[in-house]
Amino acid sequence: MKHIRILLVDDHPVVRAGLRAMLSDFEGVSVAAEAADGDTALKELKRLKALDEAVDVVLMDLQMGAGMDGVTATTRIRLLEEAPQVLILTTYDTDADILAAVEAGACGYMLKDAPPEQIRQAVQAAAAGQTALAPKIAALLMNRVANPAAALTPREIQLLELLATGLSNRAIAKETFISEATVKTHLVHIYEKLGVDNRTAAISVATQRRIIRAPGQ
């Protein structure tokens, strides 16, 4: 079996050290380089390629403190010539994260609480160009496909975002140039789709499902 060369991308030194230690225990795998953010990751990929030591798999965290975020980085990486596979390894298991990652061209999605053995398998699957999903993630995707009712319209998402900033119905109405009555109608639909019955709960669920960004972020 071909030797697998890996690039680690995570903003936490601790996590990088952990992955390096973990991966070094596996046969046929080596960590070629590390990066703390997306920009550095791209530079490293180019540098290694120039040295004829191209990377096979990128292990990517989605949540990056500063610099380019994981989804953007994944997109950019997959646009490269002879792009390496990108395997997402993150803490969060929300729908929006996963969908965004898949859209960006990731070939797998694992959670950081996975046991080493699962991570090893995922890396090897990724290197072979196969998809690698954590069991939790697979279940979540199934559930989503089975229940598309929860899809909010763009307009509803827009109002939800304004809602999360703390605006009243009246203020939202002014902001969007519609009547307060219409705002209420939209809110009712939003509540139904999210399975809640008030605005704060809507914000909580929507944030959790990554339908909107966290308030004030």
Partner DNA sequence: GGCGGGATCATCCAAACGATTGACCCGGGA
Partner DNA sequence: TCCCGGGTCAATCGTTTGGATGATCCCGCC
Question: Which residues of this chain interact with a copy of itself, rule CB under 8 A?
Answer: 11-22, 65, 89, 91, 112-116, 119, 163-168, 196, 198-205, 207-208, 214-217
Minimum CB distance to a copy of itself, residue 196 (Å): 6
Which one of DNA, a copy of itself, none is in contact with 17 (Cβ closer than 5 to 8 A by kind)?
Answer: a copy of itself
Contact call for residues 114 and 105 (beta carbons, < 8 A): no
- Residue 168 interacts with DNA (CB under 7 A)? yes
**Per rule CB under 7 A, is residue 147 in the interface with DNA?**
no
Task: Identify which of residues 75 and 169 has a Cβ nearer to DNA in the complex.
Answer: 169
Q: Is 163 helix (H, G, I), strand (E, B) or coil?
A: helix
Amino acid at 66: A
Nearest-angstrom CA–CA distance, 113 and 90 = 9
As a whole number of angstroms, the distance between CA 96 and CA 60 comes to: 16
| Largest pairwise CA distance in the chain | 65
Count, residues in the chain: 217
Q: Is residue 124 helix, strand or coil?
A: helix
From the list 151, 204, 160, the residue with the least C-alpha distance to 186 is 160
Residue 114: contacted member of DNA, a copy of itself, none (CB under 5 to 8 Å, by partner type): a copy of itself
Residue 155's binding partner among DNA, a copy of itself, none (Cβ under 5 to 8 angstroms by kind) is: DNA
Site string for DNA, 196-215 (x = CB under 7 A): -xxx----------------
169 binds, among a copy of itself, DNA, none (CB under 5 to 8 A by kind): DNA
Contacts to DNA by CB under 7 A: 153-156, 168-170, 176, 178-179, 181-182, 184-188, 191, 197-199
